[in-house]
């Protein structure tokens, strides 16, 4: 910030919740990413505000546009600590994504001369493509990436979407479908769709941890040879690896269409906690999808690569990855570009799905109290409710409340609807324990390594769940710092897989390309 901000001194504790700060801004990105307001002489007069407290920002852009936003205090560097560390005191404020978009629009309006932020990203890469792709086979979304020219990018599908739901569906009388098409089937008839297959990949039917998931699913399942899990839809049986292969095959198809070439090799990423049988299952699925596995790479390593950590210095970094089905916390030691996982703690049963489940359970409890109908015992209705809860959860990342409406969820003895407004605070109360479980895993890992959060050079945050404001803020508070989150949190692993794939086939890479993403 070139112009020192003016901040009226807060008069009381309650005023701290509504700090007012005005900034003149040479570059919108500086405000949008992280408005780090340095306290220059006579600049900032703020008693240390509580992390997470609301801040009102009044921004004047070079094109004369003035905007007002609300953000949250994410990090505070007090004058004393700054002096001790030979840094400038300051206040870091994070804006919500909707404010970032608003700011971008305002900055671009009527101003072709507005200064551009320095970027290491290439917009539309061209040139020879790497002969291997990277695949992030996620519990809820799968993405594929590759180096195009000397830039690695997540490859979009025909509709420009970079994330594909990890879903396979078997519509009546038609061939199986994958991704967004399967999502349509899931909405209409959940009995024909298989979701979260990664959670049961390589596991045994008798594994007690898969019983809950199989019971909850709208499809039937049974024990196959060697205690494998067999999925039954329309009296046809499907092996788990075959279903995984369809998802991987779709990723390959997207890559081939975008790159206009046949793809035969891939690097895959997996959670650190994946054992031999899960890795073997992935290899078999890749083989069915006609892909040679160049390497199975740990997801945190891939994420760290995508963030460009460890390029120049020796670092100890942490990767907090909260995905759709798995939570992983890893501490990496990076010495001259060599990455080593020195500690990790994962929970394969903790992910975004559980946030949906927490909302759905609370709605189902209420539905039972009002109608004496148990939605959890009706597989189709339950799947519809879970889908709607996922939407609510996403909406609550950018709004203070969200509507949950499912018309005719039950049609007998009389048609019944669900109509509920869910407040962000309600959602946070329902899911607080999930955040705490993730932080307990961080404590356990750090304690085992005899490290304190302050020993970490950086904390990289990834996975779609990290978009939830109370998760992001809670993690920031825990590590007492600004978190590193510069690429789309759902795309970091795929980008790292693409970088690794390029390395494996000696394809030179300059950096990561950014393209407009949409789902």
Ligand X SMILES: Nc1ncnc2c1ncn2[C@@H]1O[C@H](COP(=O)(O)OP(=O)(O)OP(=O)(O)O)[C@@H](O)[C@H]1O
Residue 390: which of 428, 424, 360, 426 has the closest Cα? 360
300 near ligand X, judged by CB under 6 A: no
DSSP 311: S
Closer by beta carbon to Mg ion, 61 or else 163? 163
390 near ligand X, judged by CB under 6 A: yes
Q: To the nearest whole angstrom, how small is the minimum distance from the Cβ of residue 282 to ligand X? A: 12
Sorted by sequence, the CB contacts under 8 Å of residue 22 that are 6+ apart come out as: 5, 6, 57, 58, 59, 60
Sorted by sequence, the CB contacts under 8 Å of residue 60 that are 6+ apart come out as: 22, 23, 24, 25, 66
Pick one of 72, 145, 383, 397: the residue that binds ligand X (CB under 6 A): 397
- 458 catalytic residue (yes or no): no
**Which of Mg ion, ligand X, none is residue 351 near (CB under 5 to 8 Å by kind)?**
ligand X
The binding track of 300-339 with respect to Mg ion, each residue x by CB under 5 A or -, is -----------------------x----------------
Site for ligand X in 301-340 (CB under 6 A): 323-326
Closer by beta carbon to ligand X, 458 or else 491? 491
* Size, binding site for ligand X by CB under 6 A: 22
20 forms beta bridges with 56
Closer by beta carbon to Mg ion, 15 or else 279? 279
Q: Which of the following is catalytic: 198, 345, 393, 472?
A: 198
138 near Mg ion, judged by CB under 5 A: yes
136/306 Cα distance (integer angstroms) = 13
202/430 Cα distance (integer angstroms) = 31
CA distances from 489 to 32, 141, 153, 225, 323 (A): 16, 12, 14, 38, 9
Coil, helix or strand at residue 390: helix
Residue 254 neighbours by CB distance under 10 Å: 24
- 299 catalytic residue (yes or no): yes
305/229 Cα distance (integer angstroms) = 34
Among left, alpha and beta (phi > 0; psi -120 to 50; other), residue 235 is left
481 near ligand X, judged by CB under 6 A: no
Q: Which two tokens stand for residue 210?
A: 């898969």
Site for ligand X in 342-361 (CB under 6 A): 351-353
Residue 497: Cβ-neighbour burial (10 angstroms; 0-12, 13-18, 19+) = buried
Q: Which of the following is catalytic: 321, 354, 356, 381?
A: 321
194/166 Cα distance (integer angstroms) = 9
**Which of Mg ion, ligand X, none is residue 49 near (CB under 5 to 8 Å by kind)?**
none
The binding track of 434-463 with respect to ligand X, each residue x by CB under 6 A or -, is -----------------------------x
306/501 Cα distance (integer angstroms) = 12
- 280 catalytic residue (yes or no): no
Q: To the nearest whole angstrom, how small is the minimum distance from the Cβ of residue 511 to ligand X? A: 22
- 347 catalytic residue (yes or no): no
465 near ligand X, judged by CB under 6 A: yes
Sorted by sequence, the CB contacts under 8 Å of residue 301 that are 6+ apart come out as: 332, 339, 341, 496
The binding track of 249-288 with respect to Mg ion, each residue x by CB under 5 A or -, is ----------------------------------------
Q: To the nearest whole angstrom, how small is the minimum distance from the Cβ of residue 272 to ligand X? A: 11
The binding track of 120-159 with respect to ligand X, each residue x by CB under 6 A or -, is ------------------xxxx------------------
Which chain residues interact with Mg ion by CB under 5 A? 138, 323
**Residues that bind ligand X in the complex, under the rule CB under 6 A:** 138-141, 198, 323-326, 351-353, 390, 393-394, 397, 463-465, 467-468, 490
Catalytic residues: 136, 198, 299, 321
């Amino acid at each position: 910030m070139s112009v020192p901000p003016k901040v009226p001194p807060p008069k009381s504790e309650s005023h701290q919740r509504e700090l007012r700060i005005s900034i003149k801004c040479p570059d919108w990105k500086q405000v949008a990413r992280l408005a780090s307001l340095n306290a220059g002489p006579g600049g900032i007069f703020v008693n240390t505000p509580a992390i997470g407290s609301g801040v009102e920002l009044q921004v004047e852009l070079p094109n004369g546009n003035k905007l007002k936003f609300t953000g949250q205090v994410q990090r505070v560097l007090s004058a004393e600590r700054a002096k001790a560390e030979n840094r400038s005191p300051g206040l870091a404020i994070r804006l919500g994504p909707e404010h970032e978009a608003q700011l971008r629009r305002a900055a671009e309006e009527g101003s072709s001369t507005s200064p551009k932020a320095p970027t290491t990203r290439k917009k539309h890469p061209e040139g020879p493509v790497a002969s291997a792709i990277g695949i992030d086979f996620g519990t809820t979304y799968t993405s594929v990436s590759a180096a195009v020219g000397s830039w690695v990018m997540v490859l979009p599908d025909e509709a420009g979407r970079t994330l594909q739901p990890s879903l396979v569906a078997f519509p009546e009388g038609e061939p199986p479908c994958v991704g967004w098409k399967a999502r349509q089937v899931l909405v209409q008839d959940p009995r024909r769709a298989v979701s979260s297959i990664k959670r049961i990949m390589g596991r045994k039917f008798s594994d007690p941890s898969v019983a809950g998931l199989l019971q909850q699913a709208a499809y039937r399942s049974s024990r196959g040879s060697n205690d494998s899990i067999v999925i039954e839809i329309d009296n046809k049986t499907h092996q788990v690896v075959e279903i995984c292969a369809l998802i991987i095959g779709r990723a390959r198809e997207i890559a081939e269409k975008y790159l206009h070439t046949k793809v035969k090799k891939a690097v895959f990423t997996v959670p650190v906690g994946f054992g031999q049988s899960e890795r073997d299952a992935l290899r078999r699925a890749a083989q069915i999808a006609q892909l040679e596995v160049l390497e199975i790479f740990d997801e945190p390593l891939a994420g760290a690569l995508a963030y460009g950590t460890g390029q120049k210095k020796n670092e100890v970094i942490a990767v907090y990855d909260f995905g759709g089905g798995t939570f992983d916390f890893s501490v990496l030691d990076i010495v001259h570009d060599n990455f080593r996982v020195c500690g990790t703690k994962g929970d394969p049963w903790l992910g975004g799905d559980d946030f949906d489940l927490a909302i759905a359970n609370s709605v189902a409890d209420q539905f039972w109290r009002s109608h004496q109908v148990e939605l959890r015992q009706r597989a189709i209705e339950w799947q519809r409710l879970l889908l709607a809860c996922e939407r609510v959860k996403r909406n609550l990342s950018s709004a203070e409340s969200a509507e949950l409406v499912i018309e005719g969820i039950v049609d007998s003895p009389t048609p019944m609807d669900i109509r509920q407004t869910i407040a962000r605070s309600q959602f946070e109360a329902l899911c607080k324990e999930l955040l705490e479980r993730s932080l307990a895993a961080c404590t356990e890992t750090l304690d085992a390594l005899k490290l304190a959060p302050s020993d970490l050079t950086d904390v990289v945050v990834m996975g779609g769940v990290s978009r939830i404001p109370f998760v992001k803020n809670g993690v920031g508070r825990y590590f007492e710092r600004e978190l590193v989150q510069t690429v789309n949190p759902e795309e970091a692993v795929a980008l790292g897989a693409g970088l690794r794939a390029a390395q494996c086939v000696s394809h030179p890479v300059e950096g990561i390309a950014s393209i407009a993403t949409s789902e």
